[in-house]
Structure 1
Amino acid sequence: MFRHLAIGTNDPEAARQFYDATFAALGIAAATADSKGRLLYRHDGALLIVGRPIDGQPATYANGGTIGFSAPSEEAVLGWHSAGLANGGTECEGQPIKRVSPATGREVTVAYLRDPAGNKICAVYDAPE
């Protein structure tokens, strides 16, 4: 349903360190930068843009918003969580857990973090049917 997501940061270098490390755990390449200095992460036709807000105002996170990233395995979720904590992320929603997804009724492994700017993100592995 979406082609890209953009999230703000007030510290692009901290964001690069965090996202390069967490995405490496999911098999996603490190960022490239556009002409405005925004970080661009591309994977399977999707694009995540991380940068200072274009309007020049401070970046803030969305209260109630969460961005979820697909993980290729349960181990990748755990690696993503560890990499995030080691690179400026903070604990959010507790430790990684297995639970039944209310959307699909299938078991998922999920981990949540706040990135260095406070954005709430998660990595999810959907167990095969």
Structure 2
Amino acid sequence: MFTHIMIGSNDLERSKGFYDATFVALGGQRGEVDARGRLIYTHSGGRLMITTPIDGNPATFANGGTIGIAAASKEHVQAWHDAGKAHGGKSIETSPSERPNGAFVAYLRDPDGNKLTARSQPTK
């Protein structure tokens, strides 16, 4: 259904540090910068792109929006959460924890305020 998700940032260098750390913690690759200056992360057919807004206004986050990121294991989710906090992210919602369906879930806000979650597959 989706080809990509694009979010805005007011500081692409800061965003690159945050997203490089969190995606590497999940076993992914560091992002690349395209010819337009956008950060691009590609993994398992999905793309996350980060850019400064083309209209020149400040980037803002989606109130009520959450970007979900698949993780291979509980350990990957915890590593993602730890890497995010160490690179300017803020832990939100509940502490990383197992859900009733067996999925392990963690939530962060990136340095620009975008709400993210990493979760392992349900086991029940």
TM-score (norm 1): 0.92
Give the unaligned 5+ runs of structure 1.
101-105
Equivalent residue number for residue 21 of structure 2: 21
Question: Displacement, 1:94?
Answer: 2.5
Q: Distance in 2 between matches of 1:78 and 1:93?
A: 15
Backbone CA RMSD of aligned residues: 1.0
Question: Displacement, 1:127?
Answer: 3.4
Residue 115 of structure 1 aligns with an amino acid whose one-letter code is D
Question: Displacement, 1:39?
Answer: 0.3
Equivalent residue number for residue 116 of structure 1: 111
Note if 1:51 corresponds to 2:46.
Answer: no
The structure carrying a bigger strand percent of its residues is 1
Residue 43 of structure 1 aligns with an amino acid whose one-letter code is H
Give the unaligned 5+ runs of structure 2.
none
Residue 110 of structure 1 aligns with an amino acid whose one-letter code is V
Q: Distance in 2 between matches of 1:46 and 1:77?
A: 18
Q: Distance in 1 between matches of 2:45 and 2:81?
A: 24
TM-score (norm 2): 0.96
- State the percentage of identical aligned residues: 52
Q: Distance in 2 between matches of 1:6 and 1:114?
A: 16
